[in-house]
Chains A and B, each alone.
Chain A
Amino acid sequence: MTASEIKNEQELKQEQTTNPRGTLPWFLITPNLLLIGLFMLGPLLLLARISLEGYQSGQGIIETWQLSNYSKFLFDPFYRQVLVGTLVLGAEVTALCLVLGYPLAYSLSRARGLKRAVLYFCILMPLLTSTVVRTFGWMILLANNGFINKTLMSLRLIESPVRLMYNVTGVIVALVEVLLPFMVLALDTALLNIDLSLYEAARNLGARGPRIFLRITLPLSLPGVVSGCVLVFTGALSAFVTPTLIAGARLKVMSTVIYQQAMALLDWPFGAAIAFVMLVTIAVLLVASLQLSERLRNA
């Protein structure tokens, strides 16, 4: 009997003994379906409808069917710059997280016992601290008279303070730190999945360090690279707290524009349209990455 047959038999057995008592499972799952339907799917449908409505300042929302909110966001030069800027920021943050996360994940996947526990703790700890708190820490560090500028000046590496707050540089420094743990954990999973006997075989055949890395470690960790990049890119694309606190009004990204439209300008239809552009971007990315990892698995 193969493993899958055994598993099927177990499942069958389980099905017979704890047989679905007709309506009982439906009864148990109903509260959750109501929760999702009333507070997620319903509101999202409403948001989709509103994204097609009009808005006139002074008059408020006008009930029509139109695509002008979408065309405004995609074709108006100012808003197109927001879209492009957000995507570029996401790409930069993702690339940096990958470059910085790989060595850390490599060491984490190789460490055992206490060393792994300590490393794991240092990577989990930031995840458990709220983004607001960590960004606050970066605000203290990045200020004009903050620790980073003071240190660089006392080392005489710079003459006057470098501007790190209220611009995109500071946002990247902080956002990479906020999202790095996700990348490291995704890569760690992939690296741990590599069969150790492959390394032994390569070494027996005379391959050395760099060659083993390029021919075995790197290609086999690609599924982790894909999932880590998706996680980080999605996180960077929808980040709200870090851009708001570090850059303030100086940097407009999609989520801060959505917030501004919704809370200050009360142009909900336009905010809704930006929200759906964000959802579609993420959906496209997810589908592409799923296909990519499928192809990697087959290769």
Chain B
Amino acid sequence: MIRILLRCINLLLLLYLMAPIIVVVATSFGSSAYPLFPPNDLTLAWFRKFWENPELREALRLSATLSATSTFLATIIGTLSSLAIVRYRVPGKSFFSVILLSPILFPAIVLALALLVAFQRVGLTQSFKGLVAAHTLLITPFVIRLVMASLEDFDPSLEEAAQNLGAGWWRTFTRITLPLIRPGILAGAVFAFIMSFDELVVTLMLAGPELQTLPIRIFNYVQYSSDPTISAISTCLIAVWLVIGIPVYAKFLSVRHS
């Protein structure tokens, strides 16, 4: 009896969790001029509208460039720090790992205001450089977490063996360490890219009218108008993140929970 009740409750809860996603995806295929759920008739017109809208395409291009640049920097910086902390045993290891992971502890709105105030003084507001700096700061912790986990996973005696056979530290690093942690680095980079691409609050306060990323465009559109084109963009994002994100996210959570 209790078991059946529990099953019904859980089914309702899963429906509640998935409801907004189902609605967004369904309305992106609907033919009415505003997002209607359930849709009356099916069409692909909104996807074409998204692609033919120059503003949105420019936003997509900007978001992709910004996220790719920040992810590139964050992956290098984060991997180097993970090596320093796990492999080369920097003194004060736990202190440094808390400091380096701390950007995800702060509310985005607080970091956004702090960066706005600081960037105003050095002329970095409303600049691509400023956005790259902010995004790199926000996503590096995700890289560090995943790379640290893969470094902790592998057997240090492999490096030992290489060194006993006469390999220098650089050769040991490029031939042994790097190939073994490559999956961790890749997972960190993918995760960081998604986080950067979806970032809204900090970007919103620093960007200015010339640098409207895709999340900012979506945020402004849904505030002032109701248009299934936004559903179409969202459906595309959901689909892409689903394919590249789920395995990485599961990995990230298992890291956090262990």
**A and B are interacting partners:** yes
- Chain A residues in the interface with B (C-beta under 8 A): 13-15, 17-18, 20-21, 24-26, 28-29, 31-33, 35-36, 38-40, 42-44, 46-47, 50, 100, 103-104, 106-107, 119-141, 146-147, 174, 177, 180-181, 185, 189, 209, 234, 237-238, 240-241, 244-245, 248, 255, 258-259, 262-263, 268, 271-272, 275, 278-279, 282
Whether B218 contacts A132 by the Cβ 8 Å rule is yes
Inter-chain pairs besides A28-B88, A124-B246, 14 sampled, C-beta below 8 Å = A17-B160, A20-B89, A25-B88, A31-B80, A35-B136, A42-B118, A47-B117, A103-B10, A128-B246, A133-B21, A137-B23, A139-B226, A240-B108, A271-B113
User: Secondary structure at chain B's binding surface: helix, strand, loop or mixed?
Assistant: helix
Q: Which of A15, A39, A140, A272 contacts B113 (CB 8 A)?
A: A272
Q: Does B188 contact A (CB under 8 A)?
A: no
Whether B234 contacts A133 by the Cβ 8 Å rule is yes
How long is the Cα–Cα vector from A107 to B3 in the complex, in angstroms?
Answer: 10
Tell me which residues across on chain B come within 8 A of A282, comparing CB atoms: 107
Q: Which of A35, A119, A135, A278 contacts B140 (CB 8 A)?
A: A35
User: Can you give 27 contacting A-B residue pairs, CB < 8 Å?
Assistant: A17-B160, A18-B159, A21-B88, A31-B77, A35-B77, A35-B137, A39-B115, A40-B102, A40-B111, A40-B137, A44-B111, A125-B21, A128-B245, A129-B20, A129-B21, A129-B237, A134-B21, A136-B218, A139-B226, A140-B24, A174-B20, A238-B108, A245-B219, A255-B109, A259-B205, A279-B106, A279-B110
Whether B234 contacts A136 by the Cβ 8 Å rule is yes
Whether A137 contacts B10 by the Cβ 8 Å rule is no
Nearest to B248 among chain A residues (CB) is A128
6 closest A-B pairs by beta carbon, nearest first, are A137-B20, A238-B107, A43-B118, A43-B114, A25-B90, A28-B84
Tell me which residues across on chain B come within 8 A of A14, comparing CB atoms: 89, 156
Q: Which of B109, B117, B137, B242 contacts A36 (CB 8 A)?
A: B137
Given known A39-B134, A104-B10, A258-B113, contact A20–B23 (CB-CB < 8 A): no
CB distance from A104 to the nearest CB of B (A): 5
Whether B134 contacts A132 by the Cβ 8 Å rule is no
Given known A32-B100, A40-B137, A278-B107, contact A129–B241 (CB-CB < 8 A): yes
Tell me which residues across on chain B come within 8 A of A125, comparing CB atoms: 17-18, 21, 242, 246
Nearest to B169 among chain A residues (CB) is A21
How long is the Cα–Cα vector from A95 to B6 in the complex, in angstroms?
Answer: 19
Tell me which residues across on chain A come within 8 A of B218, comparing CB atoms: 132-133, 136
How long is the Cα–Cα vector from A32 to B147 in the complex, in angstroms?
Answer: 14
How long is the Cα–Cα vector from A275 to B116 in the complex, in angstroms?
Answer: 13
Nearest to A189 among chain B residues (CB) is B257
Nearest to B35 among chain A residues (CB) is A140
Tell me which residues across on chain B come within 8 A of A185, comparing CB atoms: 253, 257
Tell me which residues across on chain B come within 8 A of A119, comparing CB atoms: 14
How many residues on chain B are close to A (CB under 8 Å)?
Answer: 88
Whether B14 contacts A136 by the Cβ 8 Å rule is no
Tell me which residues across on chain B come within 8 A of A272, comparing CB atoms: 113, 117
CB distance from B219 to the nearest CB of A (A): 5
Tell me which residues across on chain B come within 8 A of A46, comparing CB atoms: 114, 117-118, 121
Tell me which residues across on chain A come within 8 A of B215, comparing CB atoms: 130, 132
How long is the Cα–Cα vector from A38 to B89 in the complex, in angstroms?
Answer: 24
Which stretch of B42-50, B51-59, B179-187, B193-201 is in the interface?
A: B193-201
Given known A17-B163, A32-B77, A275-B110, contact A141–B20 (CB-CB < 8 A): yes
Tell me which residues across on chain A come within 8 A of B76, comparing CB atoms: 31
CB distance from B115 to the nearest CB of A (A): 5
Whether A262 contacts B116 by the Cβ 8 Å rule is yes
CB distance from A261 to the nearest CB of B (A): 9
CB distance from B197 to the nearest CB of A (A): 8
Q: Which of B16, B84, B117, B223 contacts A268 (CB 8 A)?
A: B117
Whether A43 contacts B222 by the Cβ 8 Å rule is no
Q: Which of B110, B133, B237 contacts A278 (CB 8 A)?
A: B110
Q: Which of A28, A123, A241 contacts B17 (CB 8 A)?
A: A123
Q: Does B72 contact A (CB under 8 A)?
A: no
Interface residues of B in 90-145 (CB under 8 A from A): 90-91, 96, 99-100, 102-103, 106-119, 121, 133-134, 136-137, 140, 144
